[in-house]
Every structure is written in structure tokens, then in C-alpha cells.
Amino acid sequence: MAEFLLSVPALERNARILRETADAAGAKVLVALKAFATTSALHYLSVYADGACASGLYEAQLAAKHVGAHIAVYSPAYSQAELLELLDFAHHIDFNSLSQWERYRALCTQHPRARSGELQFGLRVNPCFSTSHTPLYDPCATGSRLGVPVAELTACEPQLLVGISGLHMHTLCEQYTTDLISTVAALEKQATPLLASPAIRYLNLGGGHWITKPDYDRGALVELILRLKQQYGVQVYLEPGEAWCIHTGVLRSQVLDIFEAAGHSHAILDVSVSAHMPDVLEMPYRPCVFCTVPFSSDASLQQPAVCLPEEFYHAAGVAGELPHTYRLGARTCLAGDVLGDFSFPRSLAVGDTIIMDDMAHYTIVKTTHFNGVPHPDIALLLPDNSIRTVRHFTFRDFADRLG
């Protein structure tokens, strides 16, 4: 049976790094629930986080229940009904456009929580400075709908910004400090007076910061934030998603069938790429794959994020690199539901365990029941090496979801 297995010690390791970095910079760090919303694991992150960032009402409700503290919401658009609910419990509500802000401004600023200062409002600004390498994840691409283009924001009637006390900027995806620094510089070049205005109390630098990667320059991030705080008198927020969860989870699957067709050795897995690892097809990217081996003496080999004590693993190579090459495919009818061609040190057999690495962030939240493929369980590997299954999916989950 396939399973998403998340390591609690690995989640805590990332969380500690994020907490230490935020503390060094005097910044607030939020968990972006769009990347990871496994409620039974959020508890381990909430101990270290200042709160959560939500993409709308449902994530905000989840944040209130499972993360607590500060709840920052940003959505490309709010319905009035959603906004009315958010006004009662969110702390920051960031708007994507001047037109939504104008439409809801009176509603927002007259709310008792806004009057008491418990609730603040911000605008997402688009610095129109692209550093992303993946078009699907580039909010600064020409014609983007995400955020008010900085030139339009600085040119707008000052009266329109009354009631706005924050700026929100999300421009990065899996990026390092050099890109953040150049993006902030691009923003400052056009919006220094706005940033320096006493009305602006917070600056949310969004997500996409690869803070928990070993080669991320955390010192440079801290330096930048300290400077921004000092220069503009703002509270800085970071709202990473992936950085909390990178290298914390795997998808464990089993080989259901092996056969030769059209000149390829096909191994069919008990999962779907489309339903259970959609970013592999959407982004697209090639995940790191492992097979279990009887014994691995090569300590230099990369290992999956989550290792079971009784198992040894070998990383798969590209086609032809290792002796046995297979096309790893899904059990759905979608022709393109294929992980790719991978080579292994040994031949595969039905029942073998195949592990897809780094499947915690953006993967579990995006899964579907396409083709009625049994949904992988979700389980936690606890610090004492025991495994706790926190969600087992059944036929009812598949049938009930579609009404």
C-alpha cells in the first residue's frame, strides 16, 4: 500500500533553522499552508512559527485551529462572504488589486478589530522584476495578475491607500538571497517613499526563500531584514512553505507489474504521477527515486529524506547509468502518467518498494482521486522511529468527494 511518510525530526530540524533565522533578524516567520497542510504534523511546526499564511478562508480556518498566533491571508480575490468571515479572526488581510481594496475598504476599516489595531490590511505589490526560472511559478512575468504593478501603486491617489498599513511581495520560488536582494532593490528603486511612509507598518516578503537549504546564505537574509527594519521602521514577515518541509517526506510505492513493451522495460507502480505527484508533470521536474537494496555499503550515496531503520537504499540513475533500466509508470489510463526512465543496481520485481524523494511540500496538498486510484496513506515517522498513520483513505473518500 502506497504511503506518504513524513519525518517529524526532519520537520523539526527545518523549523529550528527558520526560528533561529527569524530571531536573528527580528522577523516573523509564518508557515504557508498552501505548501503543507497535514494537520497532525502542523503541531510540530507551530511550536516554532509565529503563525500561518493562508490563501483564503479555508486555510485561514485551518490556521486558526492548528497553528494559532498570527494569521496572514492573501488571496488574488475575496468574495464578500469570505471577507466578512476573515475580518472576525485574521490579523493581516492582504489585497491583490486596488479595485478589491477600493470595493471593500469601508467594510474593512470600519470593522471593530481594525479600529482596535488587531487587524491590519496590506496590498500585494508586484515589483515587475523577474528572477524565477520556472514560468509557472513566476508572479513577475509580463502581464501577471498577481499584485499591483509597483508603478501603478506609486502613482495612485494617496487617498486610496488610507487604511493600508502593509506591503506584501511574493516573487520567488526555490531561490537564494541574491535574487531576494536584487528584487528588494528593484522595489526600493521605485517605491522608497511609499516604504518609508509612516502608514506602512509591515513588509511581508512572501515565500520562495530556500532558507533551510544547506547552501542558503542565512546571514545575508538576516542582514537584509535588519536593514529594511531600520531604514523603513517596518515589521518584516517571511511566509515560506517549502522551506519548512524540504527533505522531510517521501512517497513510498510498490511495483505492481513488470513487462516489456515497445522496447522498454515497464514497471507499473501503485500510485499515479498525475494524482499523487502532480508537480512532476506540471512544473515539470524529475524526482529523485530510490529502490531498497539488501545492503548498501556506499555511504557516499544520496539517501532519501526518510529512511526506515531496517532498510537500505540505492539512488536510481538516469537511463543506462546503472545495470537495470525501467520506465516507471502509473496505474492510471493517462498515457503521460509516467515518472520517467530510471536505472537501478538490481532488477526490479513485483512487490518491490520504490521511493520518490521530497514529496511533502505542494505534493500532498495537491493530490486527487483521479481514476479511483487508492490514495496513499499519510503517516508520520516519529522520533522513536515508530510510524503513526494519520490518514487512511478508503473507497468512501473517493465516492463522497464528487457528490
Contact positions vs ligand PLP (CB under 6 A): 32, 34-35, 53, 74, 170, 173, 206-208, 239-243
* Minimal distance, residue 100 CB to ligand PLP, in Å: 15
Residue 188: CB atoms within 10 A of its CB come to 16
Cα gap 305→283, rounded to integer Å: 21
- Looking at the Cβ atoms of 94 and 357, the one nearer to ligand PLP is 94
The tally of CA atoms less than 13 A away on the side-chain side of residue 295 is: 1
Pairing of strands 28-32, 264-269: unpaired
* Minimal distance, residue 150 CB to ligand PLP, in Å: 16
Residue 162: CB atoms within 10 A of its CB come to 10
Beta-bridge partners for 253: 354
Residues across the chain: 403
Cα gap 170→72, rounded to integer Å: 13
- Looking at the Cβ atoms of 239 and 357, the one nearer to ligand PLP is 239
- Looking at the Cβ atoms of 174 and 188, the one nearer to ligand PLP is 174
* Minimal distance, residue 272 CB to ligand PLP, in Å: 23
- Looking at the Cβ atoms of 207 and 340, the one nearer to ligand PLP is 207
- Looking at the Cβ atoms of 53 and 250, the one nearer to ligand PLP is 53
* Minimal distance, residue 160 CB to ligand PLP, in Å: 22
* Minimal distance, residue 268 CB to ligand PLP, in Å: 31
As given in the structure block, the three cell numbers for residue 389 are: 498513520
As given in the structure block, the three cell numbers for residue 95 are: 489585497
CA angle 273, 274, 279 (to 5 degrees): 80
- Looking at the Cβ atoms of 56 and 207, the one nearer to ligand PLP is 207
* Minimal distance, residue 166 CB to ligand PLP, in Å: 13
Residues 6+ apart with CB under 8 A from 329: 266, 267, 268, 269, 337, 338, 339
- Looking at the Cβ atoms of 206 and 376, the one nearer to ligand PLP is 206
* Minimal distance, residue 230 CB to ligand PLP, in Å: 24
3-class SS of residue 329: strand
- Looking at the Cβ atoms of 34 and 369, the one nearer to ligand PLP is 34
* 53, 42 contact by CB (below 8 A): no
Cα gap 49→68, rounded to integer Å: 9
* Minimal distance, residue 223 CB to ligand PLP, in Å: 20
**For the purposes of burial, counting CB atoms within 10 Å of the CB of 401, is it exposed (0-12), middle (13-18) or buried (19 or more)?**
exposed
* 284, 337 contact by CB (below 8 A): no
- Looking at the Cβ atoms of 56 and 376, the one nearer to ligand PLP is 56
* Minimal distance, residue 207 CB to ligand PLP, in Å: 2
Q: Looking at this protein, which amino acid is placed at residue 17?
A: I
Measured at CB, which residue is nearest to ligand PLP? Answer: 207
